[in-house]
Structure 1
Amino acid sequence: MAKREPPGGPTAASAARSSADTAALADENGSELSVLMYPDSTDSNPYQRELRDGLQSHGVAVEMSGYGQYVSLLPAVREHGRPDVVHLHWLSKSFVTEQSWLTALLGVRLLVELLVLRLSGVRVVWTVHNLGEHARRSPRVELLTKRLATRLIDGIIVHCDGARGTVMELFDLSADDRPDVRAVPHGNYLDSYPNEIDRADARADLGYGPEDTVFLYFGLIRPYKNVPELVDTFRELDAPDARLLVVGNPWSDELAATVRDRVAADDRARAVLEFVPDDEIQRYMNAADAVVLPYEEVLTSGAAILAMSFGNPVVAPNRGCVGERLDPRWNVRYDPDETDGLRAALADALDADLRTMGEGNYEASTRLDWSDLSLRTRRLYSSICN
């Protein structure tokens, strides 16, 4: 049994895009489009798998290629034949390294490959999941490479309206420029993971009682995600029945040691610092009363969508698509620039009706349907191909 039951005026360019969209709509049941997604991250993230399946239901032939980092794009394209569209994800994986000179060299390779694709008539779409690589290893070279890449790309997808403006400003794009920048929300994870363990069993398995209020951090533990700071902030709460559960794979041994030391200082906190198999995610999500994502910076968060899909309210910064997607009725948003923002948000969550908020979030997640979002993606493909 699962945890919860579902309770301005047009420019010439925009007018041309409207006309192309009309043609795309007429073509939806027509000729099949072929798409190559790169790089392939389906083993570690269900996002591409859900998008692929949705696109295939709308007459798009999708193949995946380029698993791993620094994989060259053109060999992947040649391996699968000439597609109509190459759809790029997590672009930084293909060229950002520890050394600026090597990042620049791989960046030039990427730009040359994008130029070759353009000259050969292959259209390119890029989904911007993050503005830049979180480790900030070569930020200036990365930004310059991406700005130049947008001049060779036909379409950009972001996950909220606010991100559209952010991307256009960061990459110095205008409304009349290529590429076509569209907001297509991040789909839900309702069917992506098993969800058969109910709340009582999940909490019993983890040693939590009905009176406990369990805050869960779930996901990769990286420096920008502020997990040690979350533990410190939690320790300031005067709430004997509050619990903090930190679950995820640390980015480094040093970060893992820091989290362990902070957690050890408060017997209300626990840490499970390891990779979590897909069938175990439900145990942590269904035991939680709220999911806390104390990120320093964020554009899009799959963890927030995951929490919504399991019927949990989210405590998160009011930034990027996270702030735009999280309904304030069902979530606790805070200003990360305020010194006491996170602590106040946790205190507010303790006083809130978290069960009702979780039900509202679940209902909101059902509207993030992959079939609809895939259709909107297909319309972009058709538009740029026409």
Structure 2
Amino acid sequence: MTVPDSDQLTVLMCPDYRESNPYQSELIAGLETRSVEVTATDAGWAFPLLRGLRRQGVPDVLHLHWLHRFVITNRRFPAALAILLGARLVLEIALLRALGVRIVWTVHNLLDHERTAPRSELAVRHAVARLVDRIIVHCDAAADSVEETYRLPERVADRVRVVPHGNFVNVYENDVSQSTARERLDLPPDVPVVAFFGLIRPYKNVPGLIEAFKRLSGTARLLVVGNPWNDDVADRVRAANADDERVHTVLEYVPEDQIQVYMRATDAVALPFDSVLTSGSVVLAMSFGRAVVAPLMGCLPGLVGSEGGHLYDPGDAEGLKVALRRAIDDRERLREMGLRNRDVAQAYDWDRVAERTRDVYTLDAARTYRCPEETK
């Protein structure tokens, strides 16, 4: 496909997640400093991509994110509807390709985390992967997972490009001290505090985190902070938390200006996912200079590693408990891990991410990516 000579690029980005996730806002801001004009449009029932074309005209690039938003529904017969909605998506992509639009797809997760219609969704992803010009993932391990899960032939696998997940260092306020944060939350100043932070969805295994923590002795505290996915999830978290005063829950949406209070009060952030490819929650914890407790999955081993937290084998029934114990037993080591994570996060600034993404748009990006700090 021919790339235009003009330095100016127009991009249609879909679906629009900017209200609930700063990822796209930061990426778009970085792209706009590089002569890339981005229009974001939401997914929906009535041909969302063609609707975006009516708003801005034919773009140079269509950039797809979070593909489940196009095909997964809570209505009756989700598997059949996923196939129908997927056919609509494939038709729209084919029409855009016929108009000369380059198609880029960032794979944030292999499938919808709730696995509402996994076989149907996987079939749609197989089809989309073969239509796009480039597939973006956030690390080499994710590239391998995508190629294996979607059974990509070599000609399609050659379209995969690594673009790291940008940090959230300058997105949220971060000027409160740990002592002040703990005072506001009525937490002791001299005990280890581990926190879960984020939208509480079933795959994030928050009740399992609480149960593992309750099996540990000592004075450490566990914070569980976030809005439950639904009433059933909220009930499960409350039931797990019923009989241990060391566990504190805040089951509600946290305003942006209060995120720093919870992050600064903690020593480590625990994110015991049942499945994950890449994680904005991990990047958020690292951006606040916090150690991480998480499974050995997806991009996390390369991003966090043994120097940035305590990672465990998700197949080990005792893995999460042991990782929590190790974190709690060496608070000073958690501080060192947090400092390391902050340095790593700062290296993945949105300026570099946008530059790399623009290269993908123009089909100029090499397959792999190494941040300059990684080569030192």
TM surpasses 0.5: yes
2:246 aligned with 1:274: no
1:334-370 per-residue CA deviation (whole Å, 9 max, x = no partner) reads 0010111000001110123211111111111111111
Q: How far is 1:70 from its partner?
A: 7.5
The higher-RCO structure (CA 8 Å, 6+ apart) is 1
Give the unaligned 5+ runs of structure 2. 366-376
Q: 1:150-171 CA deviation, whole Å, 9 max, x = no partner?
A: 1211111000001111111211
**In the alignment, is the contact (CA less than 8 A) between 2:41 and 2:48 conserved in 1?**
no
* TM-score of the aligned structures, taking structure 1 as reference length: 0.89
For 2:338, the equivalent position in structure 1 comes to 358
Output the amino acid matched with 2:356.
R
Deviations for 1:261-295, whole angstroms, at most 9, x for unmatched residues?
21121000011011111111111001011000011
> Match for residue 288 of structure 1?
266
Q: Is the 1:71–1:94 Cα contact (8 Å) retained in structure 2?
A: no
State the partner residue of 2:178.
199
Q: What secondary structure sits across from 1:228 in the alignment?
A: helix
Matched, 1:165 2:119: no
Alpha-carbon separation, structure 1, partners of 2:308 and 2:131: 41
C-alpha distance in structure 1 between counterparts of 2:157 and 2:11, whole Å: 20
Output aligned runs, 1:187-336, within 5 Å.
187-239=166-218, 241-336=219-314
Distance in 1 (CA, whole Å) between partners of 2:44 and 2:194 is: 33
Aligned to 2:63: 87
Q: What's the counterpart of residue 45 of structure 1?
A: 21
Offset at 1:69? 7.5
In the TM superposition, what is the alpha-carbon distance from 1:71 to its structure 2 partner? 6.1
Could you tell me whether the CA contact under 8 Å between 2:43 and 2:69 is conserved in 1? no
Contact kept? 2:147, 2:157, Cα under 8 Å: no
2:45 matches 1:66: no
Structure 1 286/67 Cα, relative in aligned 2: closer, same or farther at 3 Å?
farther
The residue type paired with residue 115 of structure 1 is: A
Moved more, 98-107 or 362-371: 98-107
Deviates more, 1:322-331 or 1:157-166: 322-331
Number of residue pairs the alignment of both structures matches: 360
Cα distance in 2 for residues equivalent to 1:178 and 1:228? 38
- Deviation, structure 1 residue 80: 1.3
**For residues 337 and 266 of structure 2, what CA distance do their matches in structure 1 show?**
13
> What is the rounded CA distance, in whole Å, between the counterparts of 1:175 and 1:191 in structure 2?
39
CA distance in 1, matches of 2:44, 2:182: 36
Q: What is the aligned partner in structure 2 of residue 153 from structure 1?
A: 132
After TM superposition, give the deviation of residue 327 of structure 1 in Å.
Answer: 2.8
Aligned residue identity for 1:369: D
TM-score relative to the length of structure 2: 0.92
Match of residue 132 from structure 1 = 111
Give distance in 2, aligned partners of 1:119 and 1:179.
22
Question: Aligned equivalents of 2:137 and 2:156: distance in 1?
Answer: 16
Between the aligned partners of 2:53 and 2:66, the Cα distance in structure 1 is: 17
Match of 1:7 in 2: none
For 1:75, the equivalent position in structure 2 comes to 51
- Structure 1 letter corresponding to 2:22: P
Per-residue CA deviations over 1:191-250 (Å, capped at 9, x if unaligned) read 1111122211111000112212111000111111110011000000011x2100000111
Query: Match for 2:120 among 141, 163, 170?
Result: 141
Identity %: 47
SS at match of 1:87: strand
CA contact (8 A) 1:150 1:179 kept: no
Shift of 1:177: 2.8
Verify the 8 A CA contact 2:129 2:156 in the aligned structure 1: no
Secondary structure at the aligned position of 1:125 is classed as strand
Matched AA of 2:14: Y
1:342 match: secondary structure = helix
What amino acid maps onto 1:219 in structure 2? G
Q: Distance in 1 between matches of 2:181 and 2:339?
A: 18
Larger displacement relative to structure 2 (269-278 or 349-358): 349-358
Q: Is the 8 A contact 1:39 1:67 kept in 2?
A: yes
Q: Would the aligned equivalents of 1:214 and 1:244 in 2 still touch at CA under 8 Å?
A: yes
2:37 counterpart letter in structure 1: A
Root-mean-square deviation (CA, aligned residues, Å) is 1.9
